[in-house]
Structures are given as structure tokens and as C-alpha cells.
Structure 1
Amino acid sequence: MNLKRLAVGASFAIVGICVALLAPAAPTTDSLSSVATVHAEPAAAVAPVNIPSRTVTAIFPSGAPAPPRITSKAAFMIDADTGDYLFSHNANARLPNASTTKIMTAILALESLELSQQVTISRNAVSTIGSKSRLVAGETLTIEQLLYALMVVSGNDASIALAEAVSGSVPAFVEKMNARADELGLTNTHFVNTCGLNNKKHFASAKDLAFLAQHALRDPVFARIVDTIDFALPPIPAVPPATEDTLREFDNQNELLKQMDWATGVKTGSTPYAKYCLVTSGMKEGVSLIAVVLGAQEDATRWKEARALLEYGLSLYPRTLLVGKGELIAEVDVADPIDRPLRLVTDRPLLARLSQNDEATSRVTLLRDLSLPIRAGEIFGTMDFVVDGTIIGSVDLIAASPVERPSVDMVLEHLRTQGPYYDWLADWNHQ
């Protein structure tokens, strides 16, 4: 009789234990594996996870790429984000730089004037020599229109109009250009005019132009303008006896914008004295580059060598697998009564371009409460990869398999594995 009562009592005890175990439990901070310690928070909160980080470096499948052969007088290339030197050939030589000068003209106009400001075009502007955007004396255009005429069309007339709008006169504006060059540390640059017309005292180095372009491209308006392939100014009204207006439609002088889908700018230049020059930029798969070619003997040479530089620059950042799809990142506690861990895996592979100096370090964050039930594929966190403090890519962490609430039988079976006392209680419960 006493044994029967004990059995009944044991049964109630087991039921009580099961009820308690099966009830929703507050998340625990204990880990079921050495991989992670979970600090669960309410849904949508962000919680750090103590998971050992992984570090990934670039892999060059066939060794370091060979640099291109450059025949131009000078060339230089940098990582536009970091300023790291990627290629240098006669980079500090003071050379005539033709219309690449207009990068500085555009910078000063953007710093000094509102895009919507209107400017009346002077006779001085339209009488300049060299390439023109067909401005008409007395017409009124906005600063934005003049910037497009300057950088897309390479209009010398637009450079004069902008200089007069900023400083009142060309000489005063040129003083500003040289002062700004000094501020930017361009030690091998000197300007005599606003557009790059031939003058032995007007020069720049390939290195200086690369860093000038880097500064300019930080302005989103500048970046948008130099990445424009075609542009039109308002038609010139017909003057009798003519009956049709004169259209002013232009293509960008930068052929790389049409040849390379990841080219993004910046400025061409050519004169008999400077030969063929180009400041170009490109962005692909997170890699941003600026390359400069000065003094190419042929027009085709500058496009060929600038393109070769950009492609070489990209090859210095090989596509590297940071993490594969379905990789097990952590096994974490979900307050399961029968001690089943939640296995978190990556939802997709992640590749990124890394330089030979980059180290991508992983960082895991849980994004929601870890409580039962759990569905396979449910997102519970992210894994970020960071280079020099900047996140270069992320993947979601998902449940590898479902974790349902356990049944009473599952709990009893689990208790049986804990020792003879639980086995004895279960045996009495079934008598």
C-alpha cells in the first residue's frame, strides 16, 4: 500500500516535472557547447554572441598578378577608398595635363555655388579657344548645366563662365585653384588657366590628379555628373531667316564609360602639347579605383592603358570565399527541456574581393529570442565580415533543423538517461 502510494506520488511528481519542463521557459545564458554563449533578448533586440571569430585573407590562385606595360609618360592608380598606391609609373613628373584641369574647376564651383543659381554667359566665355559646349553670349544657364557642359562636354567656355561666377574674373579664380591645390597637398601641380590650355607653367602629376579626383568623387553631385554618358543644353533659338532651333546634344568624351560597364568617370584631356590624358575611375564588387594616364602618344593608347590599369587593380582584390553555404557557425542553448541545441548555419555563400593586406574578421549577432518551437530555415542572427572597421558583407544565420516542443514521452525518455533514480520512478509510474 505504501509502495502504491509512493508510486502514485512519483507519478504526480513526474507529471509535475514534465509540466514544468514543457512550460515556456525564459531563455538561459548557459551554452550547450563550447562554440557559443547566448545572451538572449526579447524579439528584435540585438544580442552579442561569444563565438570565436574567423579571419580570412586573400587567396591568389595563380600568384600575384603582373602589372600592365605602360607606354604613356606617366601613370598612377590608387584604391579610391583607402588611398593605397596600386600602380606607379613616373607618378611625380610635372606634365601638361590638358582638360583634366577641369576637375579642380568643378570642385571650386561645387564648393562655392548653388546648383540652381543662374549665370548669364559673358562674351569673354564664348570667345575662348579650344573645345566648347556652344554657349551663347547673353543666355542664362544654371550652375548645374554649366558643370555638365564642363565635365561631360569638356567646354572651355563653361570653365570661363564658372570661374567668373565664382570669383568675378579668371585670374582671381586661378588664384583660388592654386590655393586649393596647396590645401590638398598637390605639390606637383600648378594652374595658369581654368581649362588646361597649353602653358609651360601649367602642369600636374599623375599622382596629384589621382588624389584630386579622389577628393572630387566624394561629392555625389560631381560623381553623378562625371558618370553621365550624354547631355543636352537647351536648343539655341532660331534667328531669321533660319526657322529651326539649333540643338546642343553631346556625348561624354570619356570612351571608357561606353567600353566598361563598371567605369564611373572622370575626365579626359588632350592638346598637341599634353598629348592624350585621362583620369578614370571604376567600381566593381566593392572595389573602387582611380587611375591616371598622362602623355599617351595616341588616343587609343590612353583608353587601352587606362583600362588595363583598372583591370589590373581589380585583380589585386581576388574574389575570396569568406564563408560557405550551410556552414555550422554555432550550437546554442534554447532552454530545451531535453537539451537539444539549436544549430545555426549560414544561409548562403559569401564572397568578397580582398587585397593582399586585408584581413576580414567575422562577427556574429543574434537578432531574436531563442525559444521553442523553432522552424528549419528560421533566421536567428547575422554573421558580418569586417575589414578595418567596415562591414564588407553579411549572411543570415538560420536554424539547420526544426526544434519542436518535446512531448511527455520525450521528456521521460530524457529523464531515463539521467540516472537510475529517474529510471526507477518511470518504472513505478507504468505499474
Structure 2
Amino acid sequence: MKKTKKTTTITLIILLLINLMPLVSFAASEPPDIIGETAIVIDAKTGQVLYNKNMHDQRYPASTTKLITALLAIENLDLSKTVTIDAETPFTEGSRIYLLEGENVTVEQLLYALMLESANDAAVALGKEIAGTVPAFAEMMNRKAIELGAKNTNFVNPNGLHDDNHLSTAYDLAMIAKEAMKNEKIRELVTTYRYVIPATNKQETRYLYNTNRLLYDEKTKVYVNGVLRAAKYEGTTGIKTGYTSKAEGCLIAGAIRGDTELISVVLRSTDAGRFADSIALLDYAFDNYKSVKAMDAETIIGEIRVKRGSINRVEVVAANSGYATVPVEASPSIVNTKVLLDKDVRAPVEAGQKVGVVEIYEGETLVGTIDAVVADEIPQGGLLSIIGLSDDTAKVIERIFASILIFIILLFVVYVILKRRQIRRRRQRRLERARRYQNYDFYNQRRYNEYWRG
């Protein structure tokens, strides 16, 4: 009887474990339930969408707008340039560093004010310095957004202060962040916690602090999937907060672990909820996905024939590193590549000129491409490049031809010299022969004369 009870108990435990296993597996991959109305998580290296909640729905982006303002400032202004604040900028509403008319500050100082304190007046000062007016700068912002992959964005100011027509989406902001984070100065700005602006001609020293709690805040606690946690997030890479009464809590966040870098966007959450949502989304993506490097930048992937070039073949390399996003449990061996190069390229060729692609596959599925580019600049070749000979080969042939020509000329000179000597010798022999005949005739004539006289 005891044996039967023991067997029954073991059987029940085994059945319970079998039933629980799918539940545990399901919980590990279950997408988080967040407060934000729209959200996204992407792999920063591949752009692959790992989580999507209404990612193409338009919302007010608030101060997440400032990320593209910073990028345009870095691309268009010298960071050491001094900006003199005009009469209008100090009256900008919302968060600010209280710039004054006539105050002199550098572009770099304005950038730190923009990205740490989320200063609206700094955004206006930068926009005007770049484009002259806020509307003109907004046009630049929209062009840049489209260039970076945005599809449903319309910016009307450089700071994100509320305007019914100032709209973006979680997807668009993720695409903007993905490209912006390739800029080293942006990465420096968004990971800086504290910055000091020395006293200016109008103001005392300013101390700026980052508003992104993921960077530093171990005291503030937020509920993430029902668990109370510190707001500070391991491996965070920034990037930009946003809040207005209409937009509510917004956050573009980033983090990196090993080779995997993620970007999340949350729009229209709560003030604390934007941090909790971002932590939940980043945790979910790290738990379920990873980036696998398919190829390093500048990897030599082959050669291509060069028509009319100074050389007739040139190495082809990968323009940048290539990655694939795969399930976290997947083997890296699932990622493979296929090289597709043009048959040839015509000189002149610029270094970095695209001549093909490297396709990246996850198993049999194409998941991305890398440009295949020429490693070196190739100028147009000389005359013999028409028949496919490189300039080096042509020079060798030219030297051989020149040597043969010189040899022929020398032979000709020797021949001429020898011929002239031969001609002189013949002439001398003829002269000598003529003299002998002349002497012989003279002798005979004398004997003849003597005979008749006798």
C-alpha cells in the first residue's frame, strides 16, 4: 500500500512539472504589459523590430524631439562657435537654462543644456543659429527625419513644446535614434549625468543634470511587471526624456549587453511609467533576442576587375559591420552570408565606391545586407589599360620595348660605323689600285720613250 502511495505521489509530481514547463517557457517570452499608448523596441544594429505597440500611431513626442535638433547642430555647427542670444529666445517657455539677451555661449554648452536639462531655450538658440528662423529649422528637421527613415513625423519646432501639428511615432523616433546613436558626440551627450557651464558675460556658473533616471537614479523605485525596482538600468546608453501635459511621459531609451544594443521608445505613458515601461521593454528584448555579428567592417570579401584602370584588379571589403538579430537561444552558426559582386568596374574608381552587397541570412531567410565597396582609389590607367594591362605591367613592357629599341639603335650605330669603315677601306684600296696602275702606266711609258730614242 505504501509503495502504491509513493508511486502515485511521484507520478503526480512528474505530471505537475510537465504541466508547469510550458507555463514557465511562455512566461519568459510573454511581452510586457506597459502603460504607454505606443511603444517599440528595436535592435540598434539591425533595426529589426522586437516589440511593437501601435508603433505607427502618431503622438506628441515632447522633448524627445531634441534628439534630432542635437544631431543637426552637430552636423552643421562648429562646437566651439560662440552663439549670441537674441531678444526673442529668452522668452521660450517650459524647461530652460534662462538664457539672456546678448549672452554668449558656445554651441557645445547649448548642446549639453539641450540634452541634459532639456532646455527649450537652448533648442531655439541652436535652431536659429543653424537656419535663421524656427520655421526654416523645422523644415530641416523634417527633411532629416525622412532621410533617417521616419514615415509619419511632422516637426514644427526644435524643442517639442506642444503644438497640435507637432507629431511623431514610436517607430519614427526609433529610426531617428538608431542613426543618431552612430554619432559619437550624441552618445557622449546622452550618457553624461552632470555638466558645468562656466560663468558667461551675463550669468553665473550653471550646473546641469540629466533628466534620464535610467542613467543614475537608484533611489526612485518603479514597478516593472509587478516588481518594485530601482529606476537605474544596467548598461544604459541614454538617450532622451520628454514630458508635456498633452504628450505625458515619453522616453527614448537605450542599453547594451555584450554585442546586443537595443533602443526602446515609449510615448504617452506617465511620468514614472515611462521609466518602468522602458525597463520592462528592454528586459523583454534582452531576455529573448541577441545580435550576432555576421561580418566585421573592412573584411576582405574578394576582388573585382577594373576596366581602364592603373591596376586591373582591386580588393573589395565590407563597408561596415553586419549583424543579424536571432532568438537568444539560437546558435551563432545559424547566421551566414552570401557575397554578390559586380562583374567589373570602370576607372576612375573612388575608395568606398559600392560594387556589390553582402547578404546576411538567418538560416534561409534574408535578414539584412552590407554594402561591398572598393578598398582603394584607382585612377584611370594609361594607353595599354585599353587591353586590360595594368600600369605596372605596361611600365615593364615599356621598359622592355625601350631596351629593345635602344639595342636596335645601338646595332644600327655599330652597323653604320662598320659600314663607313668598310667604305673607307674600299675607297683606300681603289685609290691604291689606281696609284699602282698609274705608276705602272708611267713606267711603261718611260720605257717606251727610251726605246724609241735609242
Among 306, 312, 315, the residue aligned to 2:278: 306
1:192 aligns with 2:150: no
**Relative contact order (C-alpha < 8 Å, sep 6+): which is higher?**
1
Q: Shift in Å at residue 292 of structure 1? A: 0.5
- Report the structure, 1 or 2, having the larger helix content: 2
Contact 1:134–1:248 (8 Å) recurs in 2: no
Matched ranges for 1:290-369 at <5 A:
290-296=263-269, 298-317=270-289, 355-356=327-328, 359-361=331-333
Hey, what does 1:85 align to over in structure 2?
A: 49
Which residue of 50, 61, 67 maps to 2:31?
67
The answer for the alignment partner of 2:129 in structure 1 is 165
Of the candidates 78, 82, 87, which is equivalent to residue 118 of structure 1? 82
C-alpha displacement of 1:116: 1.5
1:108 counterpart = 2:66: no
- Structure 1 residue matching 2:272: 3-state secondary structure: helix
Question: How far, CA to CA, are the matches of 1:389 and 1:215 in structure 2?
Answer: 16
Distance 1:247 1:141, change over 3 A: closer
- For residues 368 and 251 of structure 2, the distance between their equivalents in structure 1, rounded to whole angstroms, comes to 33
CA distance in 1, matches of 2:291, 2:66: 35
Report the Cα distance in structure 1 between the residues aligned to 2:97 and 2:57, rounded to whole angstroms: 31
CA contact (8 A) 2:149 2:176 kept: no
Q: How many residues align?
A: 269
Q: How does 1:16-415 map to 2 (within 5 A)?
A: 62=25, 65-235=29-199, 246-258=204-216, 259-296=232-269, 298-317=270-289, 355-356=327-328, 359-361=331-333
Note the aligned Cα RMSD (angstroms): 2.7
Match of 2:344 in 1: none
Measure the CA separation in 1 of the matches of 2:186 and 2:215: 15
Q: Distance in 2 between matches of 1:318 and 1:173?
A: 38
Tell me, what secondary structure is at the counterpart of 1:310? helix
Instruction: Quote how far apart the aligned CAs of 1:223 are.
Output: 0.7
Q: Deviations over 1:263-321 (max 9, x none)?
A: 1111111111101100111111221000001001x21111111111111111013799x
Q: Structure 2: where are the runs of 5+ without partners?
A: 1-23, 217-231, 293-324, 335-360, 370-454
**Aligned partners of 2:158 and 2:368: how far apart in 1?**
39
- Cα distance in 1 for partners of 2:53, 2:65 equals 20
SS at match of 2:205: strand
One-letter code aligned to 2:242 = G
Greater Rg by CA: 2
Measured in 2, the distance between the counterparts of 1:201 and 1:67 equals 32
Tell me by how many angstroms 1:236 deviates.
Answer: 5.3
Residue by residue over 1:205-264, the C-alpha shift from the partner in whole angstroms, topping out at 9 and shown as x without a partner, is 0010011100100001001101111112123568xxxxxx74311210111111113111
SS class of match (1:70) = coil
8 A Cα contact 1:257 1:265, kept in partner: yes
- State the match for 1:403 in structure 2: none
Give the aligned residue type for 2:327.
S
SS of 1:299 mapped into structure 2: coil
Moved over 6 A (4+): 386-390
- TM-score w.r.t. length of structure 1: 0.58
**Letter of the aligned partner of 1:313 in structure 2?**
A
1:196 Cα deviation (Å)? 0.7
Scaled by the length of structure 2, what TM-score is found?
Answer: 0.55
Would you say the 8 A contact 1:163–1:194 is kept in 2? yes
Taking only the aligned residue pairs, the percentage that are identical comes to 40
- The equivalent residue for 1:402 is none
1:28 matched residue in structure 2: none
Aligned AA (2:173): L
